[in-house]
Amino acid sequence: MKRALSLAILAVITAGTVSVAVVDAADGSSTGGPRSNLTIVVPGSAGGGYDSLAREAQRALRANGLSGNVQVVNVPGASGTVGLQTVAELNGADDTILVVGSAMVGGVEITQSTTTLDDVTPITSATTDYPVIVLPANSPYADAEAFVEAWKADPAGHPIGGGALGNADHLAVIALAQAVGISPSDVNYIAYSGGGEVLASILSNTVAAGVSGYGEISDQIAGGTVRGIGITSNEPVEGIDMPTFAEQGIDVVMPNWRGFVAPPGLSDDQREEIAAILAEMFTTPEWADAVDRNEWEEFIITEPELDLFIDEQIASTATLLKEAGV
Protein backbone atom coordinates (compact mmCIF):
# COMPACT_ATOMS: atom_id res chain seq x y z
CA MET A 1 0.00 0.00 0.00
CA LYS A 2 2.81 2.43 0.91
CA ARG A 3 4.60 1.65 -2.36
CA ALA A 4 1.42 2.23 -4.37
CA LEU A 5 0.84 5.54 -2.59
CA SER A 6 4.45 6.58 -3.23
CA LEU A 7 4.11 5.78 -6.93
CA ALA A 8 0.89 7.77 -7.14
CA ILE A 9 2.55 10.77 -5.47
CA LEU A 10 5.55 10.46 -7.80
CA ALA A 11 3.25 10.41 -10.82
CA VAL A 12 1.57 13.64 -9.68
CA ILE A 13 4.92 15.32 -9.02
CA THR A 14 6.28 14.19 -12.38
CA ALA A 15 3.23 15.41 -14.27
CA GLY A 16 3.49 18.77 -12.51
CA THR A 17 7.20 19.08 -13.29
CA VAL A 18 6.64 18.25 -16.94
CA SER A 19 3.86 20.83 -17.24
CA VAL A 20 6.07 23.52 -15.70
CA ALA A 21 8.92 22.61 -18.09
CA VAL A 22 6.66 22.98 -21.11
CA VAL A 23 5.17 26.26 -19.87
CA ASP A 24 8.65 27.64 -19.13
CA ALA A 25 9.83 26.70 -22.62
CA ALA A 26 6.77 28.27 -24.20
CA ASP A 27 7.16 31.53 -22.24
CA GLY A 28 10.54 32.23 -23.91
CA SER A 29 11.65 35.79 -24.36
CA SER A 30 8.38 37.35 -25.57
CA THR A 31 4.70 36.65 -25.94
CA GLY A 32 4.17 37.45 -29.61
CA GLY A 33 2.60 34.13 -30.53
CA PRO A 34 4.11 31.34 -32.61
CA ARG A 35 6.07 33.69 -34.87
CA SER A 36 8.03 34.75 -31.79
CA ASN A 37 8.12 31.53 -29.75
CA LEU A 38 7.22 27.97 -30.63
CA THR A 39 7.66 24.95 -28.39
CA ILE A 40 7.46 21.52 -30.02
CA VAL A 41 6.49 18.87 -27.48
CA VAL A 42 7.69 15.34 -28.19
CA PRO A 43 5.60 12.66 -26.43
CA GLY A 44 8.60 10.35 -26.12
CA SER A 45 12.30 10.19 -25.41
CA ALA A 46 15.11 11.64 -27.51
CA GLY A 47 16.11 9.60 -30.53
CA GLY A 48 12.74 8.15 -31.51
CA GLY A 49 10.63 8.85 -34.58
CA TYR A 50 8.64 11.64 -32.94
CA ASP A 51 11.84 13.26 -31.71
CA SER A 52 13.41 13.08 -35.17
CA LEU A 53 10.44 14.86 -36.70
CA ALA A 54 10.52 17.57 -34.01
CA ARG A 55 14.28 18.17 -34.37
CA GLU A 56 14.07 18.37 -38.15
CA ALA A 57 11.14 20.80 -37.89
CA GLN A 58 13.08 22.88 -35.37
CA ARG A 59 16.06 23.04 -37.75
CA ALA A 60 13.94 24.09 -40.75
CA LEU A 61 11.94 26.66 -38.77
CA ARG A 62 15.08 28.24 -37.30
CA ALA A 63 17.03 28.27 -40.58
CA ASN A 64 14.26 30.17 -42.31
CA GLY A 65 13.29 32.51 -39.50
CA LEU A 66 9.73 31.21 -39.39
CA SER A 67 9.69 31.54 -35.59
CA GLY A 68 12.10 33.51 -33.47
CA ASN A 69 12.64 30.97 -30.71
CA VAL A 70 11.93 27.29 -31.45
CA GLN A 71 12.47 24.78 -28.66
CA VAL A 72 11.91 21.03 -28.38
CA VAL A 73 10.74 19.53 -25.08
CA ASN A 74 10.61 15.75 -24.56
CA VAL A 75 7.72 14.52 -22.43
CA PRO A 76 7.83 10.69 -22.43
CA GLY A 77 5.51 8.38 -20.57
CA ALA A 78 2.43 6.15 -20.84
CA SER A 79 2.73 5.48 -24.58
CA GLY A 80 2.81 9.19 -25.34
CA THR A 81 -0.29 10.12 -23.39
CA VAL A 82 1.62 12.11 -20.74
CA GLY A 83 2.72 14.50 -23.47
CA LEU A 84 -0.79 14.56 -24.89
CA GLN A 85 -2.30 15.44 -21.53
CA THR A 86 0.34 18.13 -20.94
CA VAL A 87 -0.54 19.92 -24.18
CA ALA A 88 -4.29 19.38 -23.71
CA GLU A 89 -4.02 21.36 -20.46
CA LEU A 90 -2.52 24.42 -22.22
CA ASN A 91 -5.92 25.78 -23.24
CA GLY A 92 -5.63 28.66 -25.69
CA ALA A 93 -1.83 28.54 -25.95
CA ASP A 94 -0.81 29.27 -29.54
CA ASP A 95 2.93 28.91 -28.98
CA THR A 96 3.01 25.13 -28.43
CA ILE A 97 2.50 22.16 -30.74
CA LEU A 98 2.66 18.43 -30.13
CA VAL A 99 3.98 15.71 -32.42
CA VAL A 100 1.42 12.92 -32.85
CA GLY A 101 0.87 9.97 -35.14
CA SER A 102 -0.03 6.31 -35.41
CA ALA A 103 1.70 5.44 -32.15
CA MET A 104 -0.28 8.10 -30.28
CA VAL A 105 -3.56 6.70 -31.57
CA GLY A 106 -2.54 3.24 -30.36
CA GLY A 107 -1.18 4.60 -27.09
CA VAL A 108 -4.49 6.24 -26.20
CA GLU A 109 -6.27 2.96 -26.89
CA ILE A 110 -3.77 0.78 -25.01
CA THR A 111 -3.66 2.96 -21.89
CA GLN A 112 -7.39 3.81 -22.01
CA SER A 113 -6.33 7.42 -21.54
CA THR A 114 -9.05 9.84 -20.52
CA THR A 115 -7.25 12.46 -22.61
CA THR A 116 -7.61 11.73 -26.32
CA LEU A 117 -6.91 13.39 -29.65
CA ASP A 118 -10.39 14.91 -29.40
CA ASP A 119 -8.95 17.14 -26.65
CA VAL A 120 -6.42 18.92 -28.88
CA THR A 121 -6.55 20.92 -32.12
CA PRO A 122 -5.47 19.10 -35.30
CA ILE A 123 -3.13 21.19 -37.46
CA THR A 124 -1.42 19.07 -40.12
CA SER A 125 0.05 15.69 -40.84
CA ALA A 126 3.63 15.79 -42.11
CA THR A 127 5.26 12.48 -42.98
CA THR A 128 4.70 8.80 -43.28
CA ASP A 129 6.89 5.77 -43.54
CA TYR A 130 6.00 2.10 -43.58
CA PRO A 131 6.89 -0.81 -41.32
CA VAL A 132 8.90 -3.60 -42.94
CA ILE A 133 9.16 -7.23 -41.89
CA VAL A 134 12.72 -8.51 -41.66
CA LEU A 135 14.26 -11.89 -40.92
CA PRO A 136 17.63 -12.76 -39.41
CA ALA A 137 20.26 -13.26 -42.09
CA ASN A 138 20.44 -16.96 -41.18
CA SER A 139 16.66 -17.49 -41.22
CA PRO A 140 15.58 -20.71 -42.92
CA TYR A 141 12.85 -18.80 -44.78
CA ALA A 142 13.85 -17.41 -48.15
CA ASP A 143 10.98 -15.00 -48.65
CA ALA A 144 7.60 -13.81 -47.42
CA GLU A 145 5.78 -16.81 -48.83
CA ALA A 146 7.99 -19.29 -46.97
CA PHE A 147 7.82 -17.34 -43.71
CA VAL A 148 4.05 -16.92 -43.85
CA GLU A 149 3.56 -20.64 -44.53
CA ALA A 150 5.57 -21.55 -41.42
CA TRP A 151 3.96 -18.76 -39.37
CA LYS A 152 0.47 -19.98 -40.22
CA ALA A 153 1.38 -23.51 -39.16
CA ASP A 154 2.77 -22.39 -35.80
CA PRO A 155 2.08 -18.74 -34.82
CA ALA A 156 3.23 -19.21 -31.22
CA GLY A 157 6.51 -20.72 -32.36
CA HIS A 158 7.30 -17.75 -34.58
CA PRO A 159 7.55 -14.71 -32.29
CA ILE A 160 7.81 -11.34 -33.98
CA GLY A 161 9.66 -8.51 -32.26
CA GLY A 162 8.77 -4.85 -32.65
CA GLY A 163 8.04 -1.59 -30.88
CA ALA A 164 5.50 -0.76 -28.20
CA LEU A 165 2.05 -2.30 -28.12
CA GLY A 166 -0.36 -0.27 -30.20
CA ASN A 167 2.23 1.41 -32.40
CA ALA A 168 2.52 1.00 -36.18
CA ASP A 169 4.87 -2.00 -35.84
CA HIS A 170 2.36 -3.89 -33.73
CA LEU A 171 -0.59 -2.90 -35.91
CA ALA A 172 1.28 -3.99 -39.04
CA VAL A 173 1.82 -7.46 -37.59
CA ILE A 174 -1.84 -7.75 -36.58
CA ALA A 175 -2.97 -6.65 -40.03
CA LEU A 176 -0.53 -9.05 -41.69
CA ALA A 177 -1.84 -11.92 -39.59
CA GLN A 178 -5.41 -11.11 -40.57
CA ALA A 179 -4.45 -10.92 -44.23
CA VAL A 180 -2.92 -14.41 -44.26
CA GLY A 181 -5.62 -16.08 -42.15
CA ILE A 182 -3.99 -16.12 -38.71
CA SER A 183 -6.17 -15.10 -35.78
CA PRO A 184 -4.65 -11.89 -34.34
CA SER A 185 -5.10 -13.30 -30.85
CA ASP A 186 -2.72 -16.14 -31.78
CA VAL A 187 0.12 -13.80 -32.77
CA ASN A 188 3.18 -14.00 -30.53
CA TYR A 189 4.24 -10.35 -30.61
CA ILE A 190 7.10 -9.27 -28.35
CA ALA A 191 7.20 -5.52 -27.67
CA TYR A 192 10.53 -3.82 -27.04
CA SER A 193 11.25 -0.33 -25.81
CA GLY A 194 13.47 0.73 -28.70
CA GLY A 195 14.86 -0.11 -32.10
CA GLY A 196 18.16 -1.28 -30.64
CA GLU A 197 16.43 -3.97 -28.61
CA VAL A 198 14.37 -5.06 -31.61
CA LEU A 199 17.51 -5.43 -33.71
CA ALA A 200 19.30 -7.37 -30.95
CA SER A 201 16.37 -9.78 -30.70
CA ILE A 202 16.53 -10.41 -34.45
CA LEU A 203 20.30 -10.89 -34.58
CA SER A 204 20.23 -13.27 -31.60
CA ASN A 205 17.35 -15.28 -33.14
CA THR A 206 15.27 -14.55 -30.05
CA VAL A 207 12.48 -13.79 -32.53
CA ALA A 208 11.74 -15.40 -35.88
CA ALA A 209 11.13 -12.01 -37.49
CA GLY A 210 11.19 -8.35 -36.63
CA VAL A 211 9.17 -5.33 -37.65
CA SER A 212 10.51 -1.78 -37.87
CA GLY A 213 10.25 1.42 -39.85
CA TYR A 214 12.41 1.08 -42.95
CA GLY A 215 14.55 4.11 -42.09
CA GLU A 216 15.40 2.65 -38.68
CA ILE A 217 16.73 -0.62 -40.09
CA SER A 218 17.86 0.25 -43.62
CA ASP A 219 21.56 0.16 -42.69
CA GLN A 220 21.22 -3.40 -41.39
CA ILE A 221 19.32 -4.43 -44.52
CA ALA A 222 22.02 -2.89 -46.73
CA GLY A 223 24.72 -4.57 -44.64
CA GLY A 224 23.09 -7.97 -44.93
CA THR A 225 22.65 -8.57 -41.20
CA VAL A 226 18.88 -8.84 -41.72
CA ARG A 227 16.74 -9.59 -44.77
CA GLY A 228 13.66 -7.60 -45.65
CA ILE A 229 10.76 -9.68 -46.99
CA GLY A 230 8.07 -7.05 -47.43
CA ILE A 231 7.04 -3.45 -46.83
CA THR A 232 3.52 -2.47 -45.79
CA SER A 233 3.01 0.30 -48.36
CA ASN A 234 0.26 0.16 -50.94
CA GLU A 235 2.75 0.58 -53.79
CA PRO A 236 6.54 0.45 -54.23
CA VAL A 237 8.38 3.24 -52.42
CA GLU A 238 10.95 5.13 -54.44
CA GLY A 239 14.47 4.35 -53.22
CA ILE A 240 13.46 1.21 -51.30
CA ASP A 241 14.40 -2.03 -53.02
CA MET A 242 11.88 -4.28 -51.32
CA PRO A 243 8.59 -5.71 -52.61
CA THR A 244 5.36 -4.61 -51.00
CA PHE A 245 3.21 -7.29 -49.44
CA ALA A 246 0.50 -6.27 -51.92
CA GLU A 247 2.84 -7.20 -54.78
CA GLN A 248 3.19 -10.61 -53.17
CA GLY A 249 -0.54 -11.19 -53.00
CA ILE A 250 -0.96 -10.19 -49.34
CA ASP A 251 -3.39 -7.33 -48.79
CA VAL A 252 -1.84 -5.31 -45.97
CA VAL A 253 -1.12 -1.58 -45.89
CA MET A 254 -0.01 0.16 -42.69
CA PRO A 255 1.22 3.76 -42.88
CA ASN A 256 3.16 5.08 -39.89
CA TRP A 257 2.09 8.72 -40.16
CA ARG A 258 3.16 11.64 -38.00
CA GLY A 259 2.01 15.23 -37.71
CA PHE A 260 1.26 18.13 -35.40
CA VAL A 261 -1.60 19.20 -33.14
CA ALA A 262 -1.99 22.25 -30.91
CA PRO A 263 -3.69 22.86 -27.57
CA PRO A 264 -7.48 23.23 -27.38
CA GLY A 265 -9.32 26.52 -27.20
CA LEU A 266 -7.60 28.28 -30.11
CA SER A 267 -9.37 30.87 -32.21
CA ASP A 268 -9.58 30.31 -35.96
CA ASP A 269 -6.90 32.97 -36.45
CA GLN A 270 -4.55 31.29 -33.98
CA ARG A 271 -4.98 27.87 -35.58
CA GLU A 272 -4.52 29.29 -39.07
CA GLU A 273 -1.31 31.07 -38.06
CA ILE A 274 0.23 27.86 -36.71
CA ALA A 275 -0.88 26.03 -39.86
CA ALA A 276 0.65 28.77 -42.02
CA ILE A 277 4.02 28.50 -40.23
CA LEU A 278 4.15 24.74 -40.77
CA ALA A 279 2.98 25.07 -44.38
CA GLU A 280 5.84 27.49 -45.01
CA MET A 281 8.24 25.06 -43.33
CA PHE A 282 7.18 22.30 -45.74
CA THR A 283 8.43 24.43 -48.67
CA THR A 284 11.96 24.96 -47.32
CA PRO A 285 15.09 23.21 -48.63
CA GLU A 286 15.89 22.13 -45.07
CA TRP A 287 12.60 20.26 -44.86
CA ALA A 288 13.12 18.63 -48.27
CA ASP A 289 16.56 17.49 -47.12
CA ALA A 290 15.10 16.05 -43.90
CA VAL A 291 12.48 14.05 -45.81
CA ASP A 292 15.17 12.66 -48.10
CA ARG A 293 17.73 11.89 -45.38
CA ASN A 294 15.24 10.14 -43.11
CA GLU A 295 13.67 8.17 -45.97
CA TRP A 296 10.26 9.62 -45.14
CA GLU A 297 7.41 10.25 -47.53
CA GLU A 298 5.80 13.65 -47.31
CA PHE A 299 2.19 13.14 -46.22
CA ILE A 300 0.36 16.42 -45.71
CA ILE A 301 -3.31 16.60 -44.79
CA THR A 302 -4.83 19.69 -43.18
CA GLU A 303 -8.19 20.60 -41.71
CA PRO A 304 -10.96 19.60 -42.15
CA GLU A 305 -9.75 16.43 -43.86
CA LEU A 306 -7.20 15.78 -41.11
CA ASP A 307 -9.92 15.49 -38.47
CA LEU A 308 -11.71 12.86 -40.57
CA PHE A 309 -8.45 11.01 -41.20
CA ILE A 310 -7.65 10.86 -37.47
CA ASP A 311 -11.16 9.58 -36.72
CA GLU A 312 -10.65 6.79 -39.27
CA GLN A 313 -7.27 5.92 -37.75
CA ILE A 314 -8.78 5.76 -34.26
CA ALA A 315 -11.56 3.44 -35.43
CA SER A 316 -9.29 1.08 -37.38
CA THR A 317 -6.71 0.94 -34.57
CA ALA A 318 -9.36 0.13 -31.97
CA THR A 319 -10.69 -2.68 -34.18
CA LEU A 320 -7.24 -4.21 -34.75
CA LEU A 321 -6.31 -4.13 -31.07
CA LYS A 322 -9.64 -5.58 -30.02
CA GLU A 323 -9.25 -8.46 -32.43
CA ALA A 324 -5.74 -9.06 -31.07
CA GLY A 325 -7.14 -9.23 -27.54
CA VAL A 326 -5.08 -6.26 -26.36
* CATH superfamily of the 2-128+256-323 domain: Bordetella uptake gene, domain 1 (3.40.190.150)
CATH 3.40.190.10 residue ranges in the chain?
131-248
Q: Is the peptide bond before 304 cis (omega within 30 degrees of 0)?
A: yes
Q: Which amino acid is at 298?
A: E
pLDDT tens sequence across 71-81? 999 999 999 99
Strand pairing partners for 101?
Answer: 258
**Confidence band of 23 (pLDDT split at 50, 70, 90):** low
**Do residues 117 and 104 touch, judged by C-beta distance below 8 A?**
yes
CATH 3.40.50.300 fits 131-248, yes or no: no
Q: What pLDDT is recorded for position 62?
A: 98
CATH 3.40.190.150 residue ranges in the chain?
2-128+256-323
**Do residues 161 and 190 touch, judged by C-beta distance below 8 A?**
yes
Q: What is the mean pLDDT of residues 236-253?
A: 94
pLDDT tens sequence across 260-313? 999 999 999 999 999 999 999 999 999 999 999 988 999 999 999 999 999 999
> Which of 82, 95, 97 is CA-nearest to residue 19?
82
Q: What pLDDT is recorded for position 12?
A: 42
Residue spans of alpha helices (H) in the chain: 2-27, 49-63, 81-88, 102-111, 144-153, 168-180, 195-203, 214-223, 268-281, 285-293, 305-323
